[in-house]
Each structure stands twice: as structure tokens, then as C-alpha cells.
Structure 1
Amino acid sequence: VIAQGMSALRVNIPLVLEDAENSLPDSFRAVLHRLWAQLNVQIEHVDMLTKQLELSVSTDPICQQLMKLEGVGPLGALGLALRLGKGENFTNGREASANIGLTPKQHSSGGKERIGHISKRNADKRLRCILFQGALSVISNVIKRPARTTKEEWLKTLVERRGKKVAAIALANKTVRTAYALLKSNSVYQPQLLA
């Protein structure tokens, strides 16, 4: 039995292959060796692509500007830059956020507004997932310490009221709207510090 995760796999598979007394059949050992070699090649490819991505993000001023937002890393910045452009394809931030799939669906009729859940089918699922994961990491850090900015204060009260996942979607929504405003006005993100 090997623990889950890549680091445990990297440590234990070579030991399993070298151990001649572990009663593995030779045919299975040969297959396992070939699969291990293929996995190592794929790991090298992913590492190379990650380095290329980090290099392209580090040289792009728009991505650098977007990485200053809370919960936005290299993948999120590149995804937002590609999806939003300079903001010319959207009329406002809500439309940009809805395009990514971070706003709730509306079923309104006859003056009655009914707000549903976020759409999980009609959106950029990968970018939404990246922004959601970034927002969750921000939330896990913010709830452990006192709030420093007005956004962190808002986030802490939202987590207490609605829970971490709803707060993460709300933060991702706010991140997309802020990114849209930054790209549209060509300005720099400055968080509002608490007095």
C-alpha cells in the first residue's frame, strides 16, 4: 500500500521495483517499470510547460497586473487576460463574470425575481475552477488572522454568514469584476487597507 500523492509515488515505486522479495510477478514488474518510465517522461513535459508558462506570464505586464489580485496566480492571470482581453468584449463587470460562470442564474418573470445557483454548464469551467481554488486558499489564510483590508473584512463576515464555498465563489466573482475594471481603465490594483 502506497500513500496517495505524487511525492509518495516517487519515493515508493523505485523501492517496489528494486525489491526482489515482494512476490510481484515478473510480467507485472515489467509493466510497472514501463508505466513508471512513461510517468517520468510526462512529469518532465509538465515541468517544462510550467516553466514556459511562468516565463511568459513574468514577461507579460497585463498578467503581472492581474497577479496582484487576491487568489490569482500565473494560471488565473493568464486565463483572465485571455478571456477578458482589454474589456472591450463586455459592457460591464457583471457580464464578464457571467461569461466565466460566476454569477447566479436568474429566473425572473412578472416582476418576481428568482435567483438560482451559478451555471455549471455554460461557462469557462477551467478558469472558474482555478479562480475558485485561489479564492479558497485566500479564505483559508484570512480566517486564521485579523483582517487587514476592507475586502478581507467583507470576506470574513461572508464566511461566518454563508460558509467557505459560497464566500469563495463570491470572492472569485469580485476578482473577475475587479480584473475587468483594471483592464478597462488600465489602472493598478490597490487594496483598501483598514485604518
Structure 2
Amino acid sequence: MHNIITGVDLAKEEIQVCVCKRNKVQSNQAMTPTEFASWLASSKPMTIVFEACSTSNYWKQKALEFGHDARLISAKLVASVRQNQKTDKNDALAVAQAAQLTDVSFINGKSKEQQELQTLVRLRELAVKHKVAVQQQIKSLLLEFNIRVSPSQGGLSGVVEAVLEDAENGFSVVFRQALNTSWQHLQQGIESIKQYDLYLEKAANEHETCKSLQALEGVGPLNAVNLYMALGCGEMGQFETGRDASACIGLTPIQHSSGGKVKLGSVGKYVKNNMLRSCLVSGAMSAVNQAMRRPAKTKKEMWIQQMVERRGKRCTAVALANKTVRTAFAMLANGTEYKAELLAA
């Protein structure tokens, strides 16, 4: 670190900049984004620490361009360090103070390419949420008329078509038009998800790291991009081991250790990035189902089959997801490729 440490609290319209030198505050002032960009360009190289937020990656990239030592720090850590009430000045000061703590873990930022991949994933997640919301609303509203959706009736598609085509069910023209509009909206949502899947597949296949991650069991384009975002650029922090990465994602038992006694609880479901955990476990479950349909060809498939016999498919899926994260971490850390080990003939 440089002698001068600057803590920056980012906001949309105003940026608070606290400059500290030898544990003393030199200045703590607010700037507009334009003024801050000019300040970065004119200032001598220093350590600039940003509180991790939606615009922190952009400003870290700009600070690096101007020769500064730019870093990101957890907002949760800053909140625990902040003294007195929450103001922009106190936040900026807390960022600078938190950066000087012993053995503090900084967060890796994202490059522009990594931000683009993140955008594809987030847009797909939003489309999935909208699809599920519309789907559930249509089902609930039809249930108000005691119209139940069941597979025997062709699912939601068959029920909606039957309601629209039945001229003797007593529904008004306006109601039919509104239901049809909602149904078309749902169809558009489904098509948009398919389109995002194509974008993700293309992006993952064009990216060498994501392409190599797809060799892992239960890892497709979506999970490959998710793993690269979580491990390759350290969205959740810098990990020293694969176990640390797996624990952060929520695939290892929660520890309740004290007084030299190690106590392991259940595998935690409530984690920061629950969507990542869900996707990894879903992909692992698909690999487990596939491995159970045929004789084992690899040592990993043999392990899956033995694990299913002992603990069942759900526990096996979580365990496989755990192995996947650790293997992906090793691949990214060492620059190696994954090749499944075949069983001896």
C-alpha cells in the first residue's frame, strides 16, 4: 500500500472522498462524478479503496488506468467499522479505516468482459422471475373460478386454451382478451429465456475459461459462467482454497466451533448468492440422474452411484456440487484442464 490511503463512498450523484496520510485525515470532501474523474487523473499514485457497490467496478477500472492502487472492500466490513451515525463522511472515513485493518480481505473487481457476462446472467435471472410470477398469477386467478391446472388437462397451456375456446363458460369478451394478453406475455417471457440461453451458450463457448469449465459434470454454459464469475474474478472475495470458495457458496456444513471443539451443522441454504448455489445443485442433480441410468464409466460416476446408495440423490447432488466448485477452483488457480478419470477395463 502507498502512504496515502483514500476511502471512497460511492453514490449516483455525489462521491465522498476521504484522504488519509499516516493515520490522519487530510481531507474529506464530496465531489460530483465528473470532478472525481478529474481528481483521479490529476492526483499522484495512491491507494484508493472503494466500498463495493454497483458502480465500484467502473471506478476501480478508471483508477487503475490513472496508475492508482485501486481496491474494493466489503460493505459489511465497512458498516462494522463505521463510528457514529451513518453519513457520507463517516462512511468514507470507515472505508479508509477498514482498509488498514490487519490481514483484511479485499474483493477482486471485474473487468468489462466479466461485467458483460454478469449482465447476461442477471438478465436471464430476471426473465425467469418474471415468467414464474406471471405463470403463478394466471394459475391463482383461474383457481378463483375453481379452474384447476393439472397435467391431465395439458398443463397451464391446455387449461388456458380450453377457457378461451369454450364459448359457453360464461366469461365475458373483455376477460378473455385480458387472459389472452397475459398468456401471450408469458409466452414472450419463455421465448426471451430461450434467447438469453443462446446468448450465454455463445458467450461461454467463445470464452476459453468458460469453455474448459463445461467439461465438469453438471456444468453447462450457465454454470460455467457462474463459476467463472464467482471464482475467476472473486465476486464474493479472494479465496485461498477451494474449500473456502465452496463454503462461501453454501455447499459445506456450517461450523459452530468454540473452545477447541469443532461442531459441524447442516449445509447452509441461506447464502449471499443463493441463485448460484441453486444452479450448481440443479446441474449436479442432472448429472446424478444421468449417472444412475447407465453403468459407471468413470471413477466420478462410480462415486456418485455409491453415494446415492448411502445417502440418496439430494445429498449426492450437494456433495457433487461441492466437488465441482473445488475442482473448478483448482482449474482456475493452476490453469489446468479437467479430464474425467476412466475406470480400468
TM-score calculated relative to the size of structure 1? 0.89
**Which residue among 4, 25, 46 is the counterpart of 2:193?**
46
Name the residue aligned to 2:247: 98
3-state SS of paired residue (2:261)? coil
Deviation at 1:17, TM superposition (A): 2.1
Residue 66 in structure 1 maps to residue 213 in structure 2: yes
Aligned pairs (5 A) from 1:110-149? 110-149=259-298
| Aligned residue identity for 2:181 | R
| Aligned residue identity for 1:141 | Q
Q: For the residues of structure 2 that align with 1:77 and 1:43, how far apart are their CA atoms?
A: 22
Aligned pairs (5 A) from 1:1-195? 1-3=148-150, 8-10=155-157, 13-85=160-232, 89-195=238-344
| Aligned residue identity for 1:164 | K
Q: For the residues of structure 2 that align with 1:142 and 1:25, how far apart are their CA atoms?
A: 52
**For 1:78-119, what per-residue CA distance to the aligned partner results, in whole angstroms no more than 9, with x for missing partners?**
100111016792111101111111111111223322111122
Name the residue aligned to 2:137: none
**For 1:158-189, what per-residue CA distance to the aligned partner results, in whole angstroms no more than 9, with x for missing partners?**
11111211111110000000000011111110
Across the two proteins, how many residue pairs are aligned to each other? Answer: 194
Query: 1 or 2, which has the higher helix percentage?
Result: 1
Contact (CA 8 Å) 1:66, 1:77: kept in 2 or not? yes
TM-score calculated relative to the size of structure 2? 0.52
Gap runs ≥5 in structure 2: 1-147
Q: Please provide the CA RMSD for this pair.
A: 2.2
The higher relative CO (CA closer than 8 Å, separation ≥ 6) is in 1
Q: State the identity %.
A: 45
| Aligned residue identity for 1:54 | E
Larger-Rg structure: 2
3-state SS of paired residue (1:105)? strand
User: Taking structure 1 as reference, are residues 145 and 42 closer, same or farther at Cα in structure 2, changes over 3 Å only?
Assistant: closer
